[in-house]
């Protein structure tokens, strides 16, 4: 394999394998992976604007709006107006959303523990550090330069 894409191929393989496992975890809790990821963000960082969620998920606001609209209709999140600008909506998890998220989180935590055991704690910590550094680099990279 050409060295020029070896890293991208390896990361893509990891991403595909992880996506497959996380889909199974989310399915068991009656969530999609996109719903799990959104609930993860608002559970970890607190309720936030749609625009903040879009930036956090690296996608356009309309994609997040569609996802949130579906989640609201199934009772996973609720929207409230921002106190200072009533046109802006804040996304909050509901009791149902939290319950399903926590069930999926338990299963994903077991999956992460198994991966950490397989890799060893030092390698798992290094993989975490490198993954976050690569994501930050790619977020800042401009392909037009």
* 113 assigned to some structural domain: no
pTM: 0.83
Measured torsion, CA atoms of residues 109, 110, 113, 117, in degrees rounded to the nearest 10 = -170
For position 51, which CATH number holds?
A: 1.10.10.10
* 8 assigned to some structural domain: yes
- Count the alpha carbons within 13 Å of 28 in the hemisphere toward its beta carbon: 12
Please say if the pLDDT value at position 145 is more than 70.
no
Highest mean pLDDT among 17-26, 64-73, 80-89: 64-73
Burial 105-144 (b: 16+ CB within 10 A, else e): bebbeeeeeeeeeeeeeeebeeeeeeeeeeeeeeeeeeee
* 89 assigned to some structural domain: yes
Average pLDDT, rounded, for the chain: 91
* 129 assigned to some structural domain: no
| Three-state helix/strand/coil letters over 63-128 | HHHHHHHHHHHCCCEEEEEECCEEEEEEEEECHHHHHHHHHHHHHHHHHHHHHHHHHCHHHHHHHH
* 131 assigned to some structural domain: no
* 33 assigned to some structural domain: yes
Q: Using 50, 70 and 90 to split pLDDT, how confident is the model at 138?
A: confident
* 120 assigned to some structural domain: no
Residue range 104-119, pLDDT digits in tens = 999 999 999 999 999 9
Task: Round to whole Å and give the CA distance between 53 and 58.
Answer: 8
Please say if the pLDDT value at position 143 is more than 70.
no
Q: Using 50, 70 and 90 to split pLDDT, how confident is the model at 126?
A: very high
* 50 assigned to some structural domain: yes
Residue range 26-71, pLDDT digits in tens = 999 999 999 999 999 999 999 999 999 998 888 888 899 999 999 9
Number of domains in the chain: 1
Residue carrying the six token digits 């930050």: 136
Q: Find the domain containing 48 and state its range.
A: 3-108
């Amino acid at each position: 394999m050409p060295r020029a894409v070896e890293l991208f191929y390896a990361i893509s393989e990891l991403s595909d394998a992880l996506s497959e496992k996380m889909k199974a975890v989310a399915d068991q809790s009656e969530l999609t992976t996109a719903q799990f990821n959104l609930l993860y963000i608002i559970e970890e960082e607190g309720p936030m604007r749609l625009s903040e969620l879009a930036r956090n998920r690296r996608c356009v606001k309309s994609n997040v709006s569609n996802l949130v609209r579906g989640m609201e209709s199934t009772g996973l999140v609720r929207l409230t107006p921002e106190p200072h600008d009533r046109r802006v909506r804040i996304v909050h998890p509901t009791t149902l959303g939290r319950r399903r998220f926590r069930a999926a989180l338990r299963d994903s935590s077991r999956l992460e523990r198994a991966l950490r055991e397989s890799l060893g704690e030092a390698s798992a910590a290094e993989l975490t550090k490198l993954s976050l550094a690569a994501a930050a680099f790619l977020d800042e990279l401009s392909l037009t330069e």
